[in-house]
């Protein structure tokens, strides 16, 4: 029972804080007596407050979860607002419920390289994440943490292997071509690196060249050698 009584004893103390109570200010809760402040807070503890709206919940229609109670219509994913069910379990972060999808998207990072959860240092690029140890060239394993990197189909490449993959390297010197290049034999060449494999005369695609085993030759050499 909750009520107010007068005590005819000299030293009545608050059950909780031990304060000696003025006889006119004794508040009773069950068998215990409290000062005004402690009475309020004790009463409050007994109340069911919704973890979402913090309003009192009356009756026994509520959801008990995450050490709190919730209005049934106030227990939903804190991110997308979807309701939980057996097929839609909830996950907790900082006392708030999240659906599985948002939980994993928002709070657990999956390494693009090894597909394991990231709980240490990581690198991010284009909305993807990698363990620092996994942030390396797909071809040569060189760490790209301090290097220029390229991402093709979620795979990382160092500059060299990116250009190789994208077919941007000169077929002769294996260095990147720039805007002016010759495209011949399905490869790119520095203009001055597209020459006859035998006499080294620079060839121009429009002047005609001959191909033998993937190598370019001027007409004269081709006829002399293979003609």
Tell me if 122 contacts Zn ion by CB under 5 A: no
SS3 of 37-51: HHHHHHHHHHCCEEC
> Which is closer to Zn ion, CB of 1 or CB of 144?
144
Positions 26 through 55 that interact with Zn ion (CB under 5 A)? 35, 38, 50, 52-53
Among 2, 20, 106, 114, binds Zn ion (CB under 5 A): 114
Q: Do 181 and 188 contact (CB within 8 A), yes or no? A: yes
Place of tokens 């390494």: 111
Tell me if 212 contacts Zn ion by CB under 5 A: no
Tell me if 134 contacts Zn ion by CB under 5 A: yes
Among 122, 132, 184, 198, binds Zn ion (CB under 5 A): 198
Cα distances (angstroms) measured from residue 113 to each of 36, 99, 155, 158, 166:
61, 25, 8, 15, 21
Cα distances (angstroms) measured from residue 128 to each of 28, 46, 134, 162:
59, 46, 12, 18
CB of 153 to Zn ion, least distance (A): 15
DSSP assignment of 21-79: PPGGG-EEETTEEE-HHHHHHHHHHHS-BBTTT-PBPPTT--EEETTEEE-GGG-B-TT
User: SS3 of 156, please?
Assistant: strand
Positions 153 through 182 that interact with Zn ion (CB under 5 A)? 158, 161, 170, 172-173
Among 25, 96, 193, 219, binds Zn ion (CB under 5 A): 193
Q: How many residues bind Zn ion (CB under 5 A)?
A: 37
Positions 66 through 105 that interact with Zn ion (CB under 5 A)? 71, 74, 77, 79-80, 82, 99, 102
CB of 8 to Zn ion, least distance (A): 20
Helices (H), 155-195: 159-165
Give the residues lining the site for Zn ion (CB under 5 A): 14, 16-17, 19, 35, 38, 50, 52-53, 71, 74, 77, 79-80, 82, 99, 102, 111, 113-114, 131, 134, 137, 139-140, 158, 161, 170, 172-173, 190, 193, 196, 198-199, 218, 221
């Amino acid at each position: 029972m909750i009520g107010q009584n007068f005590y005819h004893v000299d030293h009545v103390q608050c059950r909780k804080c031990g304060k000696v109570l003025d006889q006119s200010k004794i508040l009773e809760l069950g068998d215990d007596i409290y000062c005004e402040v402690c009475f309020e807070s004790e009463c409050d503890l007994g109340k069911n407050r919704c973890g979402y709206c913090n309003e009192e919940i009356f009756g026994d229609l509520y959801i008990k979860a995450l050490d709190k109670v919730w209005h049934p219509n106030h227990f939903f994913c804190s991110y997308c607002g979807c309701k939980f069910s057996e097929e839609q379990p909830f996950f907790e972060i900082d006392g708030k419920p999240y659906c599985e999808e948002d939980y994993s998207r928002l709070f657990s990072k999956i390494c693009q390289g090894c597909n394991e959860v990231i709980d240490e240092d990581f690198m991010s690029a284009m909305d993807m994440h990698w363990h620092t140890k996994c942030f390396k060239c797909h071809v040569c394993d060189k760490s790209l943490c301090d290097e220029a990197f390229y991402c093709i189909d979620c795979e990382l490449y160092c500059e060299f292997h990116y250009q190789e993959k994208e077919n941007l390297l000169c077929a002769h010197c294996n260095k990147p071509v720039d805007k002016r290049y010759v495209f011949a034999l399905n490869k790119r060449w520095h203009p001055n690196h597209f020459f006859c494999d035998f006499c080294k005369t620079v060839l121009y695609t429009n002047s005609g060249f001959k191909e033998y085993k993937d190598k370019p030759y001027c007409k004269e050499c081709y006829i002399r050698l293979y003609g």
